[in-house]
Structure formats: structure tokens, C-alpha cells
């Protein structure tokens, strides 16, 4: 079982993704925006982060860049989970340090596959 941080400003999206991750047998920690996500990553040291992009305070691209450049959190794989489905968004997200990119609504099979690739479970 892994500890997974889910960062999303939408309560309904957060709950839906949380249910999927818990169904796969993982423990979940949540944050409601990018700034809180960066703090939670530093505090909790999760095994993986599922990060929304469009959020107040610090967007997901900025939060991903901050987490992936910090020596204390750089080892944590980040998966961007967003409604932004343009190829340019995906390329930019990967340049910020994301290891994978998924579009909403989250497909359970794709989520399962991505988690297995990145954390082995």
C-alpha cells in the first residue's frame, strides 16, 4: 500500500479520485490547492502525487515545478490529472517535472496502470 497525495481544488473531483485510489488499496492524503499541495508533499513525503492543474494560489504546473526542484521532494513522482487535454499542456507539464499526464474524468484502468508503472502497485 502506498501513500498518495491528491491535490485538487474541486471537492467532487477530489472525492472521486480519492475513492478510486482507496479502492486500489492505497492510503490517501489530500490538499485543496497547489500551495497546500507543496506543503503536504514536504510534510507527508507521499509515494506519489496526483496533481490537478487549474487551481487557485499556485497552479499545478507551478506546484509540480516547485516539488520536483526541491531536494526533499524531488524523488516523488507526480501525475498531472487535469481537464487540459492539449498536447502543448502535456509537454509543458512533463517539462515541469511530471512523470505522467492523465485527463479527467479519470479512467480507473489508466489510473491503475499508471500507479503500477510509477510505484509498483
The parent domain of residue 77 ranges over 3-119
Average pLDDT over residues 84-113: 96
Here the CATH number for the domain that contains residue 19 is: 3.40.50.2300
Return the pLDDT at 121: 54
How many structural domains compose the chain?
1
Would you say residue 32 has pLDDT above 60?
A: yes
Taken in order 77, 96, 108, 18, is the CA torsion positive or negative? positive
CA distance 47 to 102: 18
Global confidence as pTM: 0.97
Return the pLDDT at 120: 84
CA distance 65 to 25: 28
In percent, how much of the chain has pLDDT > 70?
A: 99
Amino acid at each position: 500500500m502506498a501513500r498518495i497525495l491528491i491535490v485538487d481544488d474541486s471537492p467532487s473531483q477530489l472525492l472521486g479520485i480519492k475513492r478510486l485510489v482507496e479502492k486500489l488499496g492505497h492510503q490517501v492524503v489530500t490538499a485543496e490547492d497547489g500551495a497546500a499541495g507543496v506543503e503536504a508533499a514536504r510534510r507527508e513525503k507521499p509515494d506519489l502525487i496526483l496533481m490537478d492543474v487549474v487551481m487557485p494560489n499556485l497552479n499545478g504546473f507551478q506546484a509540480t515545478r516547485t516539488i520536483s526542484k526541491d531536494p526533499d521532494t524531488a524523488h516523488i513522482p507526480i501525475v498531472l490529472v487535469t481537464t487540459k487535454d492539449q498536447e502543448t499542456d502535456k509537454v509543458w507539464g512533463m517539462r515541469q517535472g511530471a512523470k505522467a499526464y492523465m485527463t479527467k474524468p479519470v479512467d480507473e484502468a489508466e489510473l491503475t496502470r499508471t500507479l503500477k508503472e510509477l510505484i509498483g502497485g
